[in-house]
A and B are shown apart, each in its own frame.
Chain A
Amino acid sequence: MLIKTSRIVYLLLIIFAASIFIPKYYWMKFEKNIRSPLVYFSPVKNDFLIRSKDPNQVTYVDKAGIKYGRTEFETLMPLLNYRQLTLEGRLPDSLNGVPLILEKIRLNNITLKIYPSEVDYVPIQLFPMFESKSGRVQLEMPNDYFRITKRLEFIDCATNSIGEKKTELFTSYLASKNFSFPAKIISGNPTSKKAFDEGYFVVDSKDNLFHIKMVKGKPFCVNANVPANLEIASMKIMEMPLREFYGMIVTKRNEVYLISYDHYKLIKLPLEGYDHTKHVLTFMGDLFYRTISLVGKNSIHTFVTNRAYKVVDRYTETWNDNDKLTAGVVASYFFPFTLSLSDDTSSVSSFYFKFSGSKAFIGSIILSVIVFFILQKRKIGLSKGWFDLLLVLLTGIFGFLAVSLVKNVDKNLE
């Protein structure tokens, strides 16, 4: 019995390793790098310009199919390419009646990106609290880091001990603002390489959203008064000199909100079909428009809104991903499933199964028949060999490898 168990563990080990490595090596050889198209919205033509997926070609196509070269593209996207146009003296004085001033263009050009793996990522829960009004040009890293557990504790880097005075100051101030400890989510932009500091947005234990920062050594804490049922999954906070919004909220229901500077009023982005576990969200803003794209493995959905976040145009394109190409079709016959312990869409190592569906079952049945004959040759009857057969039926080529490589246990010798 023990020997049989031992053999089963061995079979499972082979199947486990094989279902990870064989598909992995297969795809290392056959995977094609399929790029998603880059989608722009021209404020000159008020139409989309789509960059071709071929990385060696710098050509753009509009919705009507007319091709543009790089120079034309730059003319049609003056705000994106203002530096090149300025260099060549081609930047127009005004566009749509708005004078094009370099300073204004620069201020209004913003980009934000949210990857699926960012949404479920939990960093080390220690953060630097910057002095947001130091009167200095550059931000400086503080000498302590904070955590929000039962209190808001500052831990001094040099001594690795809690600074009680500052801790007490912040904790009592937060408590006076009805912050309920501990924090569920703390999100900020903890780098000193930014223009200014807006501190952190913190979800407390009662799902209230607070804006917390330090101003001249004193705590600043404001309840943003967001709806209680928002169910925030993640936030992306980024200080931008435009000062239109602090950052983005992604909810568990796949809604995306901007936290505006106007009393933290939430602006809902009109994104249908967003799935934060699948799509990379890119947000590009300029003087006139917001171009928001949801980029998936085999599709892109782009929404263009005006500055009031009303949709003015949409673009959708789908393409075949690797699963649909020859290599993928072949793989789906060979591998009943593939296993990976990591995935692009998550920061967590776990079991990521990809099942091939019914096609692979044909292969599994054929392999089971072969195994049936192998077992006969080994003089193993169905009463003893049923488990091997079941294994091959369920795990296809991986189980076949395991069973054909590992001999059965001979009852007479056990």
Chain B
Amino acid sequence: MAKTRKEPDSMVEFVRHRLDSEDLVTAAMIQPLPANIQPSQAFMDKLRAQLLDVTNASSSQTRAA
């Protein structure tokens, strides 16, 4: 009797554990990008200059208004 009561519980635990383990395995496959994927310095400098142009222009507009 005790055995028949225990089995469904164990099965639930087994399935729950199995699902968790599967999730862990799947999650482990999702890797961040390799470290060598980086923006070039030229690109970062160019975009920074562009942003400063835009931010200065909008600050001037705010002051003028």
A-B interaction: no
